[in-house]
Amino acid sequence: MNVNHSGGHKRRDFLKYLLSGGLIGFAGIILYPLIEYLKPPKQREVEVSSVLAGKTSDFEKGSGKIIRFGNKPVIVINTKENNFKAFSATCTHLDCTVQFRKDMSLIWCACHNGKYDLNGRNISGPPPKPLEEFRVVIKGEEIYVSKKT
């Protein structure tokens, strides 16, 4: 009788594990595709090595403009000394797009008053890091911006 009883228990335990294991597996089979579906597919970044930013005549001294570099914004600046520079235009603080401020002669983020000098260094406000610098090459009249390697 005793043996039978524990045998019954064993059988019941076995069924319990089998069923709960099956249930977990079943839940996993349902959840896995759902979670994978919700993950946005990795989009291949538009591989851009170099972009034509415009003509030197488009940039007067002490001005700046945002250009498209693949799918990222880049700010191109012509300093008062007629020096062309380019930086990532995405503020290192919270992702806003920066702008050139002629009156302050620096790069400014309107969202939280972050300031960068014309070398891209964060000099005031909340930005934790400098802006990534891009290479500027001038061929004749044309300004080309490319990633620094």
Partner 1 sequence: MKNFLKRIYLWIDERVKLNDLENFLGKKYVPIHSHSVWYYFGGVSLFLFVIQVITGILLLFYYKASSDLAFESIQYIMSKVEFGWLIRSIHGWAANLFILSVFIHMFSVLFERAYRKPREITWVTGIIMFFMALGFGFSGYLLPWNELAFFATKVGSDIVGAVPLIGEPLKIFMRGGDDVTGATLSRLFGFHVALFPGIFTVLLVIHLLLVQRQGMSEPLELEIEQKTEQKRMPFFPNFMMRDLLLWLIVLNLLAILAVFFPAELGIKADPFASAPAGIKPEWYFLFMFQTLKYFPGHMWFIEGEVLGILLFGVAGILWLLIPFWDVKSSKGKRNRIITYSGIFAVIYIIVLTILGWAS
Sketch the per residue contact string, 44 through 73, with partner 1: x for CB under 8 A, - otherwise. ----------------------xxx--x-x
Rounded to the nearest 5 degrees, what angle is found at the Cα of 100, between the Cα atoms of 80 and 129? Answer: 110
Distance in Å, CB of 108 to partner 1, minimum: 9
Contacts of 112 (CB under 8 A, 6+ apart): 93, 94, 96, 125, 126
Contact 127, 109 (CB under 8 A): yes
Stretch that binds partner 1, among 5-13, 107-115, 132-140, 141-149 (CB under 8 A): 107-115
Coil/strand/helix, residue 78: strand
- Choose, by CB under 8 A, the member of 39, 44, 139, 148 that binds partner 1: 39
Chain residues in the site for partner 1 (CB under 8 A): 38-40, 43, 66-68, 71, 73, 89, 91, 94-99, 109-112, 126, 128
